[in-house]
Structure 1
């Protein structure tokens, strides 16, 4: 099996275009077509439907794509692990992260980590918590840092940082900064939500439940895909929301929104996860030890 054929096949499917795949791989379109054709002949089955609507995988093509991604990922891991036998840690660490840790925590951690290991390249992929964990199980990333705790025999999961969920409202909002704010008072306002699969949304739902409420008690004005977008929606007057304090504080300092601090915040954790089978890979082991030593800060 020629890895170049697998690489070409993966790129064509992800780009949905032979020409874009060729550009990404710094090759020519005819060369990419030859590799795909050769792969189909080698496997004895058609992998792509080439129609007017674009390039789409056949059922066999979907299976080959999933397996090819795993093969290429494992090969990349092997290359990194072999580099670990050298005196200096090198290789690529791919981190999947949900929005809050990916935006407000991980960049600072990586700066410190690369001070210790300057030859390590780091890639950060931002997705919702559920997608990150699925990517980890599928070997698409090396570690995941999210706000959602998921029990799995395949993964090792540890608390890596803490945060709290706070209420934000428009700057000129009528909600009083009362020391005895009635939670039921909030139900008359529109609620801006994070998207399904978000750790922040799950924590919000748990917070509402603790206070005898649910999302059904509120009018949902909009569901949106990032904390920054939620802040912008609240700033524009679309409603109120519960978000990470890490995200809220800079927006409050910039006078974009107001934080209702008299409402008791809801404590939450962020979790570091990696596959049990991968924990002793040199690059993952060193990053895990780095976090465990408390060399990161919130």
Structure 2
């Protein structure tokens, strides 16, 4: 059992597909299948159930998956430590982020970090806050930036930068050009919200709870799994929404959406750097962590 076989097995198990794993690893599907077959023969146990076009780890596969992730993590850490010892910084870093920081904050920061370390590769996984936290706990990502804190004894949070939720309406909405709206006015309008597990949704629910309200007091007409989907829904006139100011700054500047301040409601929140307290971090992850902290200071 070598590191390459483990890498291929872990990728198939995580993506649930031989073809997707082959694409991600720049291999042919027969090559991936041959590596998995060889690993199963060596260990004497089936590791993956073939489910039509998909694949899922067996009980034995689930056991190996945990060890495989840890072995690959140590393998990357060792190579990066030796590179750092020789005055170089190279290797691959996998980080995660919830939707807003992942789409509107981190890309520019990653670009500046790569200017300092051109030989590195960074993979950015984007999901809702709940999923992002799970990726850090599982070791799929060495660190993450999330829009909310989810309590867990194996996680550490550090506040990075502030964010603010704003009410957005379409260019055709009667409130276009309006500067403020009351909560009562907002309650009468069709509202689009993020899905459960989203940091933006948690921030909205917290703000409403502070004034004695919850989403059941509003005309919620839809839940959407991304900020981009919400923006398109608002533009199409499906409803209004309360989302991150960072996500709509460009649209509000060009007039395709309009931002309205809601009276009597405080919508400030923060983005957090999320790390595991039980897993070691590679030198590259430590360098990126320090970079994020310095950039947000």
The TM-score, its normalising length taken from structure 1, stands at 0.86
Quickly say closer, same or farther: Cα 1:14–1:213, change in 2 above 3 A.
same
Contact 1:8 1:32 in 2 (8 A): yes
Instruction: Give the Å deviation of 1:58.
Output: 2.4
Quickly say closer, same or farther: Cα 1:22–1:287, change in 2 above 3 A.
closer
> 1:201 and 1:248 mapped to 2: Cα distance?
16
Which residue number corresponds to residue 73 of structure 2?
Answer: 73
Cα RMSD, aligned residues only = 2.7
> 2:277 and 2:54 mapped to 1: Cα distance?
39
Quickly say closer, same or farther: Cα 1:243–1:31, change in 2 above 3 A.
closer
Which residue number corresponds to residue 270 of structure 1?
Answer: 271
Matches within 5 A, 1:139-158: 139-158=139-158
Contact 2:230 2:241 in 1 (8 A): yes
Q: Secondary structure at the match of 1:212?
A: coil
Contact 1:70 1:138 in 2 (8 A): no
Quickly say closer, same or farther: Cα 1:164–1:184, change in 2 above 3 A.
same
> 1:19 and 1:183 mapped to 2: Cα distance?
50
Quickly say closer, same or farther: Cα 1:237–1:136, change in 2 above 3 A.
same
Which residue number corresponds to residue 102 of structure 1?
Answer: 102
Instruction: Give the Å deviation of 1:53.
Output: 6.2
Quickly say closer, same or farther: Cα 1:52–1:150, change in 2 above 3 A.
closer
| Structure 2: gaps spanning 5 or more residues | none
Contact 1:70 1:140 in 2 (8 A): no
- Measured against aligned partners, the alpha-carbon deviations of 1:193-213 in whole angstroms (never above 9, x if no partner) come to 111211001111112222322
1:282 aligns with 2:283: yes
State the aligned residue count: 295
Quickly say closer, same or farther: Cα 1:116–1:56, change in 2 above 3 A.
closer
Greater shift after overlay, 61-70 or 51-60? 51-60
Instruction: Give the Å deviation of 1:51.
Output: 5.4
Instruction: Give the Å deviation of 1:7.
Output: 2.8
Greater shift after overlay, 70-79 or 248-257? 70-79
| Structure 1: gaps spanning 5 or more residues | none
Matches within 5 A, 1:115-194: 115-175=115-175, 177=178, 181-194=181-194
Instruction: Give the Å deviation of 1:86.
Output: 1.9
The TM-score, its normalising length taken from structure 2, stands at 0.87
Quickly say closer, same or farther: Cα 1:79–1:239, change in 2 above 3 A.
same
Quickly say closer, same or farther: Cα 1:131–1:18, change in 2 above 3 A.
closer
